[in-house]
Amino acid sequence: MKYKILIVEDDATIRTQLKYLLEGSGYEVLAVTDFADTIVTVKEYAPHLAILDIKLPKSSGFEICSQIRGFSDIPIVFVTGSNTDMDELSSIMLGGDAFITKPYNTAILLAKTAALLRRAYACGQAEILTWNGAQLHLESSLITCNGGKAELTKNEVKILYYLFKNAGKICSRNDIVDFLWDNQLYVDDNALSVNITRIREKLAGIGLTGFIKTKHRQGYTL
């Protein structure tokens, strides 16, 4: 299978370098030049992974990422000259999967790209985990219960996967964060709290209020 990668980068030199680098590694690559129609291009090209710069003409990588997450769960890599904790945190909160600063190390970029694609597609997960009437569908990123269903982001799926795999046990916040980092999902303690809140809201919408329980100063449990 030849993976398709979309590059959204306004610096022509970097855009060309990235395109040649990825094509040389066996990927099919499309580099966006008309930034006004980026979302249309994403939908038409249907890439397996997108590489976004943060600062773009008439828009931003954050805005594009947020729009993509409205209809797709493809891996998204931010490659940017901005090296601030706030930018990195924003990329995580919006559903980004990796954050690489310029000038980037080509070996690291290729390794992270390959790892994200492998985790997203190669395993072909069809596994369904169940607990107390709820079913976590890994392949379709859904959680269902009694006919209701909620769509999940990649981070939300991984968090619930860890909790389901350890159902009945108390999972510390540090253990969950470490698990996410091991899976190339760069979530810190604050971002974990935000993700847990969003998951709880989605669970409540399908009748699973109180499904995730907080154990004071210990962590979470199902």
Q: Is the pLDDT of residue 193 over 80?
A: yes
Domain count, the chain: 2
Question: H or E stretch including 6?
Answer: strand 4-8
User: What is the rounded CA–CA span in Å between residue 172 and residue 97?
Assistant: 22
Of 97, 122, 147, the domain-final residue: 122
Is the pLDDT reported for residue 184 higher than 60?
no
pLDDT higher than threshold 80 for residue 85: no
**Residue listed under structure tokens 């931010």:** 78
Give the position of tokens 């899976």.
Answer: 183
Instruction: Check pLDDT > 70 for residue 2.
Output: yes
List the domain range (segments joined by +) for residue 111: 4-122
The span from the CA of 144 to the CA of 150, in Å, is 7
CATH of the domain at 56: 3.40.50.2300
Q: pLDDT exceeding 70 applies to what percent of the chain?
A: 90
- Please report the pLDDT score of residue 116 as a whole number: 87
Tokens standing for 143? 């959680």
Tell me, yes or no, whether 13 and 115 share the same domain: yes
Reported as a pLDDT band with limits 50, 70 and 90, residue 28 is very high
CA distances from 60 to 9, 42, 91, 95, 158 (A): 10, 15, 11, 14, 27
Domain identity same for 104 and 51: yes
Domain boundary among 122, 141, 157: 122
Judgement on whether residues 19 and 94 belong to the same structural domain of the protein:
yes
pLDDT at 185: 57
> Does residue 168 share a domain with residue 66?
no
Q: Structure pTM?
A: 0.56
The answer on pLDDT for 123 being more than 50 is no
Last residue of one domain, picked from the residues 63, 88, 122: 122
